């Protein structure tokens, strides 16, 4: 029987502590997926994502990456005032500290009793950008990013990626204009461990079920590719 647990406390590299939502699969040990949030915090879609991955046989850890600014943030992207609050939190977010907090969450995940020792990161929006930076640090066995913003500014990190990483990007994403799309495609092409798929009919947040920009066909294909990409972590081989 799967379980979702709150009230978890994780300590980061600088002594900062933060909470996390943890999902345990029916069968263990299992690979653990650390889920990096969108700009809206650990909200309903993040809970939905935890549940989805647990149903696929993974353990999951979704850390509160806004704990340094506003612990317990869980915003509704369809509420205009809450969207504005999310944008302000995003603009003030410390990416370096976020990478450090994710490293702590990954360390926590890798050593849980239900873990088989293999850990991947799946991130959305803000979390999609963090997924690339975490992959460049070598903290995870695999990384997946959905519509990460600002990837074109981090391409100097491409040679540092030493484990497979997969990215899903909307071809109509207004946060990623055409010149940025070209830079990302060319930059990622320099490292065979990096894959990027462009969903030409989709914009930003195309995989979030509650989003006005949700594109069911693109979301289904991206999620199918994600599960195929993560599947080797289920192997009993080292």
What's the mean pLDDT in 74-82?
A: 95
Give the H/E segment covering residue 198.
Answer: strand 194-199
Distance (Å, whole) CA 135 – CA 222: 19
pTM of the complete model beyond 0.85: yes
pLDDT digits (tens, 9 = 90+) for 183-206: 999 999 999 999 999 999 999 999
**Per-domain residue ranges of the chain:** 5-233
pLDDT digits (tens, 9 = 90+) for 51-66: 999 999 999 999 999 9
State yes or no: pLDDT of 153 exceeds 90: yes
pLDDT at 235: 78
Is residue 25 helix, strand or coil? coil
Contacts of 81 (CB under 8 A, 6+ apart): none
What's the mean pLDDT in 151-180?
A: 97
What's the mean pLDDT in 16-29?
A: 93
CATH of 5-233, one of 3.30.300.10, 3.50.50.60, 3.30.930.10, 3.40.50.1820: 3.40.50.1820
Contacts of 191 (CB under 8 A, 6+ apart): 158, 159, 161
Q: Look at residues 29, 17, 37 and name the one whose alpha carbon lies nearest to residue 119.
A: 29
Instruction: Give whole-number Cα distances, 47 to 136, 184, 220, 234, in Å.
Output: 26, 30, 18, 22
pLDDT at 116: 95
Catalytic residues: 125, 173, 204
pLDDT at 140: 97
Q: Alpha-carbon dihedral of residues 52, 57, 31, 216, nearest 10 degrees?
A: -30
pLDDT at 1: 45
Please check whether residue 143 is in contact with residue 135, taking contact to mean a CB–CB distance below 8 angstroms.
yes
pLDDT at 4: 54
End-to-end CA distance of the chain: give it in Å, rounded. 26
């Amino acid at each position: 029987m799967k379980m979702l647990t709150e009230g978890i406390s994780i300590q980061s590299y600088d002594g900062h502590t933060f909470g996390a939502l943890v999902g345990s699969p029916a069968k263990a040990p299992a690979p653990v997926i650390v889920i990096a949030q969108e700009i809206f915090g650990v909200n309903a879609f993040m809970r939905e994502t935890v549940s989805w991955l647990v149903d696929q046989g993974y353990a999951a850890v979704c850390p509160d990456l806004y704990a340094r600014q506003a612990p317990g943030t869980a915003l509704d992207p369809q509420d205009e005032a809450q969207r504005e609050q999310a944008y302000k939190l995003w603009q003030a977010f410390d990416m370096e500290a976020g990478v450090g907090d994710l490293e702590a969450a990954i360390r926590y995940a890798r050593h849980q009793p239900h873990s088989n020792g293999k850990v991947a990161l799946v991130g959305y929006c803000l979390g999609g950008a963090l997924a690339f930076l975490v992959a460049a640090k070598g903290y995870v066995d695999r990384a997946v990013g959905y519509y990460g913003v600002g990837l074109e500014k981090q391409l100097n990190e491409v040679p540092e990626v030493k484990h497979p990483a997969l990215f899903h990007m909307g071809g109509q994403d207004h946060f990623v204009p055409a010149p940025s799309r070209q830079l990302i495609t060319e930059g990622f092409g320099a490292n065979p461990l990096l894959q990027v798929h462009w969903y030409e009919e989709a914009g930003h947040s195309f995989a979030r079920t509650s989003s006005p920009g949700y594109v069911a066909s693109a979301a289904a294909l991206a999620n199918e590719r994600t599960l195929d990409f993560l599947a080797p972590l289920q192997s009993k081989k080292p």
